[in-house]
């Protein structure tokens, strides 16, 4: 009788403490952050710097102050005139006459023509949802947030002659992956691959 009461109390204690354990484990779900280092901390800052570039006026020295100089700012790529051709003419269907006139003239200058490409971005991801289902791989939910910006600045004889940008001011993605077999899915997959390799 005493033994039965003991196990009842033990079971009740486990039931009561299990939610607390799972809540505590919630903070231990994997989180991650990826950031391309630059002098801009937000999309708005990067876009404002880009907007400050004036065609046929802004010089390479001005670009240095704006954060688009590869010699003073991190992660700014230098493109040669051959790289620029690949960017604007990725295949034979794009003819030289299809290019913007300023880019076409820049390419004719060959070594005096180059471009700066800046791609700052910030991406954070974290797993959310039911800790029990996540740890056993039945269901995993992930939230990804951040922003990215891509700017290309074409320079002819140290003067900006063309610019273009793209990007995502707000990244807010939710991903759900379900696995009905949970942790045994990997074992089955490994067995199938081993059988196929025999």
pLDDT of residue 9: 46
Mean residue pLDDT of the chain comes to 79
Give tens-digit pLDDT for 48-102.
999 999 999 999 999 999 999 999 888 999 999 999 999 998 888 888 888 999 9
- For residues 24-30, average pLDDT: 55
Q: Angle 59-65-69 (CA atoms, 0-180°, nearest 5)?
A: 70
- For residues 150-171, average pLDDT: 96
Q: What is the DSSP string of 108-142?
A: HTGGGEEEEEE--EEEEEEEES-HHHHHTTSEEEE
Length of the chain equals 198
pLDDT of residue 67: 92
């Amino acid at each position: 009788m005493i033994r039965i009461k003991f196990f009842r109390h033990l079971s009740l204690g486990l039931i009561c403490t299990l939610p607390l354990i799972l809540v505590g484990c919630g903070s231990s779900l994997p989180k991650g952050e990826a950031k391309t280092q630059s002098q801009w901390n937000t999309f708005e800052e990067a876009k404002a710097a880009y907007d400050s570039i004036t065609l046929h006026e802004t010089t390479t020295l001005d670009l240095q102050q704006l954060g688009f100089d590869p010699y003073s700012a991190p992660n700014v790529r230098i493109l040669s005139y051959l790289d620029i051709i690949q960017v604007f003419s990725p295949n034979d269907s794009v003819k030289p006459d299809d290019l913007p006139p300023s880019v076409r003239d820049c390419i004719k200058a060959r070594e005096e023509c180059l471009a700066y490409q800046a791609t700052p971005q910030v991406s954070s991801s974290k797993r959310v949802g039911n800790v029990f289902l996540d740890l056993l791989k039945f269901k995993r939910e992930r939230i990804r947030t951040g922003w990215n910006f891509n700017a290309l600045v074409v320079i002819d004889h140290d003067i900006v002659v063309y610019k273009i940008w793209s990007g995502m001011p707000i990244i807010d993605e939710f991903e759900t992956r379900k696995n009905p077999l949970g942790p045994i899915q990997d074992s089955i997959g490994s067995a199938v691959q081993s059988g196929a390799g025999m």
